[in-house]
Amino acid sequence: MTPSSLAVRQDRLEPGDKSQPRLNDADTIAKEIVEKLTYSIGKTTGAARLHDWLEATTLVVRDRIIDNWFNSTIETRRSQAKRVCYLSMEFLIGRLLRDAISNLGLTDPIREALARYDVELDLVELLEPDAALGNGGLGRLAACFMESMASTGVPGYGYGIRYVHGFFRQEIVDSAQVELPETWLKHGNPWEFERRESSYEIGFGGKVTSIEENGRTRFVWRPAERVLAVAYDTPAVGWRGNHVNTLRLWSAQSLDPILLDAFNAGDHIGALLESNKAEAITRVLYPADSHQAGQELRLRQEFFFSSASLQDIIRHHLAQYDDLTNLADKVAIQLNDTHPAVSVAELMRLLVDVHGMEWDAAWTITRATFSYTNHTLLPEALETWPIHLFERLLPRQMQIIYQINAGVLREATQGQGFDDRTISAISLIDEGNGRRVRMGQLAFVGSHAVNGVSALHTELMKQTVFHDLHRLYPSRIENKTNGVTPRRWLHQANPGLSKLLDETIGPGFRDNIEEIAKLDAHADDAAFQERFAAVKRENKERLATLVQERLAITLDPGAMFDIQVKRIHEYKRQLLNILETVALYEQIRSLPHLDWTPRVKIFAGKAAPSYVQAKEIIHLAGDVARVVNSDPTVRGLLKVVFIPNYNVSLAEIIMPAADLSEQISTAGLEASGTGNMKFALNGALTIGTLDGANVEMLEHIGEDNIFIFGLKADEVARMRAEGHGGQAVINSQPLLRSAIDSISAGVFSQGDPGRYANLMNSIRDRDWWMIAADFRAYWDKQRQLDVLWKDRGAWNRVAARNTARMSWFSSDRSIREYARDIWKAGPGAR
């Protein structure tokens, strides 16, 4: 398509028809819902099932979003505002209906409209499947950022993959995790719009040739395979619906759905092979968040969505400006971890090979356009790809990476006089491990800004993974501490607390979360503390009901709800929590006359299917739960539950119900954490290590209101270097020793002593995660919390202070910082 034909198309874009403003009263909405039911779904109100009501309601809400969506898009174009493109392999969105209704302020009229037909809004909302297009922290952050970009008026475009199967469904069978496929699209998806006109060809494999053109060598990539990327758009609504952004997810389709030659020759299966192979690219989300999968399909996914997004960005840009030299002034592209890092090479290819730009000019633009966020320092999670695979799949991008590398290494040697060791640390090619491309290095050198996600994590990035690149480019790394959206994680998840806030400090906190600080003045007020505690109690009852229904376990809402929910990983140390649980169990049994604080230990989270130790930890939690819950001597004092299938919707029920939040990772290993923020915002106390954003939470909440224990990051590093082992510590800690001995003897594994031999031996031998090393400090801190629990006023005061002091951890603040410091975009930039 020529730029001029696109220009004609833009002229036809007009703001939504304003002649008939939509009314939002219950009468109008009821009428519209029935219209949708009748004419879009083909059902009478009598025949409609709950699913039909969900669809009709969604369509009515969607209509209201679309007007503002058009207006936002048109306004961005009219004002020539800079666009922010957030490239992320994952968007862990959860349900959308309640979020949209609440952001649009339609909760009451819709509830009333549905009630007229005896339909309950809450039940309708519960039917919506979770969009689980992500693994955990990184994907959920992307979803919070989409919401905050819309709420703060940043013109944002999320780009990702429309997986047919999102994150697997977890069932627990005999205490062990079983993975089942997830089918969120089973009933269709009323939020998305297929955009067949926005589709791009994505190549793989083939050869690179060169042609001489105007005295210049031009490289031409002739891919052996081509796949079509088709766009699906979902509107992302911000607070009060004022600004609506777009989440554009790519779906892979075959260019030739059926190979006619093969089909006509009678090879009916063979005729479909190609289309199956193409569609496989977006069929399923990789469920590993800690180990690189290293499979070809994963690299195909990464390139597929990177190339489609860049082609789309360039096409949009050319349609508006007809010039690529100002790309970096009008577009910022954020790389959410290294999964889209191949974009750096692909943008260079598009600029140089396809659009004929000079290499140096293209490189300047590329660097000015991209920025990169790192989300983990775990060596096993850092992405690298074998050169032979990369070269076979992406031959031209590989050449470009070599050329980028040559430039960077020249700068390092000639400009800075770096030695050989430093050069090999900086290189985009790891020569040590059978030659691999390092995606972190590629993202780093291709970006003008590189950020970590908490202050500590950013410092550690400078000292460890990017030590030498940081020396070469000392002003490139900066910090952007994560945040969470208060709309989903406070207004919607905790309506009781939100209402109490309305009544106590006024509703201003809904527009400006900083106003929540006004709550501090009420934290000492005994009457307020009672009301705060009553809300918490209701939320705990809601969770207890869910546990009763799903697990047939009765929980006492009067007990302390002590909760650890997150992906299962050794560094997150669910095992430390379980060991403390076993030790507590044994202590209560041997000293039942003491005045124990009643506790419910709640766990939830998924293990990567191939992560053996993580699966053993889940198994152990279930085994411990079975024994503890059936032991009459601890009845009323200790319960243990593992809630299956942790996801965004479950988190919305769990976070507001917590008294105590467990954030106990081995210091230096949790990049930030965001669950820690959701819990504290909802008035849970935190027991945690000085890791990730806990460090900054301590600064904001104050040391009297957060419960920090254990080794610090530098101490962990030192002890690891000195070859710390667990056995000596275990010998000196009778409680820990007894817990490990009981587990090893088969007390919890139906007499099978071998079941947890690996887990227990790993603590005795290497104690890599400092479980033995931190046990005593953790135990002591827990007992301090037991004492605090008994002073109800004191506990509630601390809980209220947590809510009051968490406003800085709003993702609105994170987004404003990205917009100001990295993207130079958003309301302030105009």
Catalytic residues: 375, 566-567, 572, 674, 678
Closer of 141 and 490 to ligand 26W (Cβ): 141
Closer of 285 and 637 to ligand 26W (Cβ): 285
Closer of 66 and 378 to ligand 26W (Cβ): 378
Strand bridging mode 176-180 / 156-161: unpaired
The secondary structure of 655-687 as a DSSP string is GGG-SEEEE-PPTT--S--SHHHHHHHTT-EEE
Buried b (16+ CB within 10 A) or exposed e, 269-285: eebbebbeebbebbebb
Rounded to the nearest 10 degrees, how much is the dihedral formed by the CA atoms of 673, 674, 679, 683? 100
CA distance 698 to 371: 29
What is the phi/psi pair of residue 185, to 5°?
-95, 5
Closer of 301 and 482 to ligand 26W (Cβ): 482
Measured at CB, which residue is nearest to ligand 26W? Answer: 137
Q: Contact, 173 vs 212, CB < 8 A? A: no
- Least spacing, CB of residue 457 vs ligand 26W, in Å: 8
Closer of 137 and 190 to ligand 26W (Cβ): 137
Closer of 52 and 337 to ligand 26W (Cβ): 337
CA distance 125 to 139: 22
H or E element at residue 707: strand 707-708
- Least spacing, CB of residue 169 vs ligand 26W, in Å: 19
- Least spacing, CB of residue 298 vs ligand 26W, in Å: 8
Q: Three-state DSSP class for 484? A: strand
- Least spacing, CB of residue 431 vs ligand 26W, in Å: 21
E-strand stretches of 605-646: 638-642
CA distance 105 to 110: 10
- Least spacing, CB of residue 677 vs ligand 26W, in Å: 9
DSSP symbol at 165? B
- Least spacing, CB of residue 671 vs ligand 26W, in Å: 4
Positions touching ligand 26W (CB under 6 A) are 135-138, 141, 288-290, 292, 337, 375-376, 381, 383, 453, 482, 670-674, 692
Q: Which amino acid is at 570?
A: E
Picking from 548, 534, 601, the residue whose alpha carbon sits closest to that of residue 782 is 601
Place of tokens 């088709």: 230
Report in angstroms the alpha-carbon separations of 66 from 28, 45, 240: 17, 25, 14
SS3 content of the chain, % helix, strand, coil (to 5): 55, 15, 30
- Least spacing, CB of residue 284 vs ligand 26W, in Å: 14
CA distance 227 to 251: 10
Q: Token pair for residue 662? A: 């467990």
Closer of 617 and 730 to ligand 26W (Cβ): 617
> How many CB atoms neighbour CB 466 within 10 A?
25
- Least spacing, CB of residue 793 vs ligand 26W, in Å: 33
Closer of 375 and 531 to ligand 26W (Cβ): 375
- Least spacing, CB of residue 712 vs ligand 26W, in Å: 17
- Least spacing, CB of residue 391 vs ligand 26W, in Å: 20
Place of tokens 């766009």: 231
Report in angstroms the alpha-carbon separations of 763 from 559, 729, 730, 740, 744: 31, 10, 9, 9, 12
- Least spacing, CB of residue 289 vs ligand 26W, in Å: 4
Closer of 189 and 384 to ligand 26W (Cβ): 384
Q: Which amino acid is at 164?
A: V
Closer of 383 and 616 to ligand 26W (Cβ): 383
The secondary structure of 767-830 as a DSSP string is -TT-HHHHHHHHHHHHHHHHHHHHSHHHHHHHHHHHHHT-GGGBHHHHHHHIIIIII--SGGG-
Task: Tell me the torsion sign for CA atoms 656, 812, 156, 448.
Answer: negative
CA distance 292 to 383: 6
Closer of 357 and 671 to ligand 26W (Cβ): 671
